[in-house]
C-alpha cells in the first residue's frame, strides 16, 4: 500500500467529529417532539414491513420523505430500537459532512484552509447539536453540501464524476427533505454561473437533461409509490402543507422578523462567527474570485431564502454552515484587526451563564438545574484566553476551539443528562402499568409513542373518552389546557402532570 496517498488528517477529522457527534446519543431520552415522531415512524414502518407509507401512531404521516426513516430502520435492525439507534446515522452523516468539507477545501484552497474549516465547523455548538438529533436535517445537510461541492469541483476541474455525483446527490436530497434539496442548489448554481460566466457553453456542459433523469430515477419511484398507496393524500399534504404553507405562513408558532434568520446563522456558528464582519469584507474584496463568489452566494441566497419564509427555525439554515466555515477560515488566515471581536465574544459568553441562570431559576420545573448554567463559563474561559493571546491568531483559534469542544462534551455528558431526569415523558412513564390500554385526548407528547411502542387511541370528544373508560382500567394522555373539558366525567382523576422539556405544553396522565 502506498501510504503517501492516505490522508491521515482526513481520517483523524472523521474519527474525532464522529466521537463528538455521537457523544452520549443513547444517554438522553427522546424529548424533542420532532425526534419522537421521526423515531416512532421508523419503528412503525419496520414493524409493519411497509417501507413506502410513513405512519406515526399508526396513522399516515406526511411531514417528511423517507430517507432518514430508512437509515433509522437499518440502525434498529443492527442495534435494536433505542435512542442510540434512532440517532446513530445522524452522527455518521455529521462526520461525513465534516469530511467532505475538508476534502473540498483542500482541493480548492489548501490543506491549511481545509483543517481550519473543520475546526471552525465542529466548534459550532449548534452544528454538533444537529447531528445528535433523530431528524432529517443531518441527511439534508450532508447531501445538499455534497451537491454544492460536487458542482463546483466539476466547474473547476471539468471531471464528469463530479457532475454525476451532483445529480445523484440531488436525488438523495429529494428523498431526505423534498424539493428544497433541488430548487435551492440549482438557484445558487445558476446565480453563480450568471455572475461569473458569460458563456452559455458552461450551462450546456451541465447536461441537465441527462442529469435530471438520474435525479428522477433515484427520487421519483418512492414519490410515485407513496402517491399511489395513499391515493395522493401524502403528496398533497406534503407539498401543500409542509412546503408551500410553511413558506407562506408561520407554522407551529415558528415565525419571526426577517433578521432572525441571519441571527440564527450568527449564533449557530459561534464562536468563529464573531469574525463575520472581517469575513464579509474579505469576501467582498475577492468577489471577482469565483471561489469566494460561489461560497458567498451559498450563504447569502440560502439564508436569504429562509429569511423571507414565514416559518423560521434555526435548523433551516444549518446547511450553510460548511460554506460559511470555509469563508471564515480563509479570513482567519489573513486577519489582522480582530480585538473588538474578541472583546464582544468575552462579554457575550461571560453574560450568558447569568442569563441562563435567571431563565432556569424562574422555571418551576427546571429551577433546580439553574446552577448548571455556570458550566457555560467554559466558553468565557476560551474567550478570555483568546483575548490574552490576541496577538497570536493561532492561539486565538486554539483557545476558541478547545473551549467550544469542551463545552460540547460537558453539554452531552453532564448538562443534558441532568436535564433529562426532569423529562415529562420519563417521569410519567413511571406511573403507567405496561399492559393497560392508553388513549389520548386531543393532543399528547409524541415521545410516548416511541416508548410505549403501541397505538395510543385517539379520543377527540368527551363521548370518546366516556366510551373508552367503559372498557376497563385505562390511561388517558392529554395536556393541561384540556383538563377543564374533562372535569365532569365521573371516575377520572389526574395521576400526574409535568411540563414538557423545552416546550410550553404540560403533559397530563389521567386514569379511571
Q: What are phi and psi of 438, to 5 degrees?
A: -130, 135
Mean pLDDT of the chain: 93
Q: What is the CATH number of domain 425-511?
A: 3.40.190
Instruction: Give the three-state DSSP class for 476.
Output: strand
Q: pLDDT tens-digit profile of 95-109? A: 999 999 999 999 999
| Cβ within 8 Å of residue 233, ≥6 positions away | 60, 62
Cα 325 from chain centre: 17
Query: Distance between CA atoms of 482 and 468, rounded to whole angstroms?
Result: 17
Q: Does 184 score more than 60 pLDDT? A: yes
- Helix, strand, coil fractions of the chain, as percent rounded to 5: 70, 5, 25
* pLDDT recorded at residue 363: 79
Q: Which three cell numbers stand for residue 14?
A: 472523521
Q: Does 198 score more than 80 pLDDT? A: no
The answer to whether 275 and 324 are in contact (CB under 8 A) is no
Please provide the DSSP assignment of 252-302 as one string: TT----TTHHHHHHHHHTTTGGGGHHHHHHHHHHTTTSHHHHHHHHHHHHH
Place of cell 426532569: 422
The answer to whether 107 and 22 are in contact (CB under 8 A) is no
Q: pLDDT tens-digit profile of 274-293? A: 999 999 999 999 999 999 99
Q: pLDDT tens-digit profile of 25-71? A: 999 999 888 999 999 999 999 999 999 999 999 999 999 999 999 99
Q: How many CB atoms lie within 10 A of CB 182?
A: 19
Q: Does 333 score more than 80 pLDDT? A: yes
Instruction: Give the three-state DSSP class for 479.
Output: strand
Q: What is the DSSP letter of 498?
A: E
Query: Distance between CA atoms of 451 and 262, rounded to whole angstroms?
Result: 37
Cα-based distances in Å from 317 to 371, 401, 411, 412:
31, 22, 22, 23
**Mean pLDDT within 193-207:** 83
Q: For the CA atoms of the chain, what is the radius of gyration? A: 24
Domain boundaries, the chain: 3-242, 339-418, 425-511
Query: Sheet of 438-441: strands edge to edge?
Result: 457-459, 438-441, 475-479, 506-511, 493-499
Q: pLDDT tens-digit profile of 225-259? A: 999 999 999 999 998 877 776 666 655 555 556 68
* pLDDT recorded at residue 4: 58
The answer to whether 254 and 312 are in contact (CB under 8 A) is yes
Query: Distance between CA atoms of 77 and 21, rounded to whole angstroms?
Result: 21
**Mean pLDDT within 74-93:** 98
Q: pLDDT tens-digit profile of 150-182? A: 999 999 999 999 999 999 999 999 999 999 999
Helical spans, DSSP H, in 313-374: 321-332, 339-361
Q: What are phi and psi of 173, to 5 degrees?
A: -65, -40
Q: pLDDT tens-digit profile of 413-471? A: 999 999 999 899 999 999 999 889 999 999 999 999 999 999 999 999 999 999 999 88
Beta strands in 59-145 (DSSP E): 59-60
Q: Does 506 score more than 50 pLDDT? A: yes
Q: Does 317 score more than 50 pLDDT? A: yes
* pLDDT recorded at residue 1: 40
Amino acid at each position: 500500500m502506498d501510504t503517501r496517498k492516505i490522508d491521515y488528517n482526513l481520517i483523524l477529522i472523521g474519527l474525532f467529529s464522529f466521537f463528538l457527534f455521537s457523544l452520549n446519543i443513547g444517554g438522553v431520552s427522546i424529548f424533542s417532539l420532532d425526534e419522537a415522531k421521526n423515531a416512532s415512524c421508523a419503528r412503525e414502518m419496520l414493524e409493519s414491513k411497509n417501507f413506502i407509507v410513513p405512519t406515526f401512531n399508526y396513522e399516515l404521516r406526511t411531514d417528511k420523505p423517507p430517507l432518514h426513516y430508512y437509515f433509522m430502520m437499518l440502525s434498529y435492525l443492527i442495534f435494536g430500537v433505542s435512542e442510540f439507534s434512532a440517532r446513530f446515522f445522524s452522527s455518521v452523516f455529521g462526520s461525513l459532512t465534516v469530511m467532505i468539507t475538508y476534502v473540498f477545501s483542500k482541493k480548492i484552497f489548501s490543506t491549511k484552509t481545509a483543517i481550519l474549516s473543520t475546526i471552525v465547523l465542529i466548534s459550532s455548538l449548534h452544528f454538533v447539536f444537529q447531528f445528535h438529533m433523530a431528524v432529517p436535517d443531518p441527511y439534508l445537510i450532508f447531501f445538499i453540501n455534497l451537491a454544492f461541492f460536487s458542482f463546483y469541483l466539476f466547474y473547476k476541474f471539468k471531471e464528469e464524476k463530479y457532475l454525476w455525483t451532483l445529480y445523484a446527490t440531488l436525488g438523495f436530497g429529494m428523498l431526505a427533505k423534498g424539493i428544497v434539496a433541488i430548487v435551492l442548489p440549482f438557484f445558487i448554481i445558476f446565480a453563480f454561473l450568471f455572475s461569473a460566466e458569460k458563456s452559455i457553453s458552461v450551462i450546456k456542459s451541465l447536461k441537465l437533461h441527462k442529469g435530471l433523469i438520474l435525479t428522477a430515477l433515484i427520487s421519483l419511484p418512492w414519490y410515485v409509490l407513496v402517491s399511489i398507496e395513499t391515493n395522493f393524500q401524502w403528496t398533497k399534504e406534503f407539498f401543500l402543507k409542509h412546503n408551500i404553507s410553511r413558506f407562506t405562513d408561520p407554522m407551529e408558532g415558528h415565525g419571526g422578523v426577517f433578521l432572525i434568520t441571519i441571527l440564527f446563522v450568527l449564533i449557530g456558528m459561534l464562536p468563529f462567527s464573531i469574525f463575520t464582519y472581517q469575513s464579509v469584507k474579505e469576501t467582498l474584496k475577492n468577489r471577482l474570485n469565483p471561489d469566494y463568489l460561489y461560497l458567498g452566494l451559498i450563504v447569502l441566497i440560502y439564508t436569504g431564502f429562509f429569511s423571507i419564509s414565514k416559518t423560521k427555525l434555526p435548523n433551516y439554515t444549518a446547511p450553510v454552515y460548511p460554506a460559511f466555515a470555509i469563508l471564515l477560515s480563509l479570513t482567519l488566515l489573513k486577519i489582522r484587526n480582530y480585538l473588538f471581536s474578541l472583546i464582544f465574544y468575552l462579554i457575550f459568553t461571560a453574560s450568558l451563564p447569568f442569563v441562563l441562570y435567571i431563565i432556569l431559576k424562574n422555571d418551576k420545573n427546571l429551577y433546580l438545574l439553574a446552577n448548571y448554567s455556570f458550566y457555560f463559563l467554559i466558553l468565557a474561559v476560551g474567550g478570555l484566553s483568546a483575548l490574552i493571546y490576541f496577538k497570536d491568531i493561532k492561539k486565538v483559534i486554539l483557545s476558541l476551539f478547545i473551549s467550544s469542544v469542551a463545552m460540547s462534551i460537558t453539554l452531552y455528558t453532564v448538562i443534558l443528562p441532568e436535564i433529562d431526569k426532569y423529562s415529562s415523558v420519563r417521569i410519567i412513564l413511571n406511573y403507567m402499568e405496561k399492559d393497560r390500554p392508553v388513549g389520548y385526548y386531543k393532543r399528547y407528547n409524541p415521545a410516548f409513542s416511541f416508548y410505549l411502542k403501541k397505538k395510543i387511541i385517539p379520543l377527540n370528544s368527551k363521548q370518546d373518552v366516556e366510551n373508552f373508560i367503559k372498557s376497563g382500567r385505562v390511561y388517558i394522555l392529554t395536556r393541561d389546557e384540556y383538563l377543564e373539558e374533562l372535569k365532569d366525567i365521573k371516575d377520572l382523576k389526574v395521576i400526574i402532570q409535568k411540563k414538557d422539556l423545552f416546550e410550553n405544553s404540560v403533559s397530563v396522565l389521567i386514569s379511571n
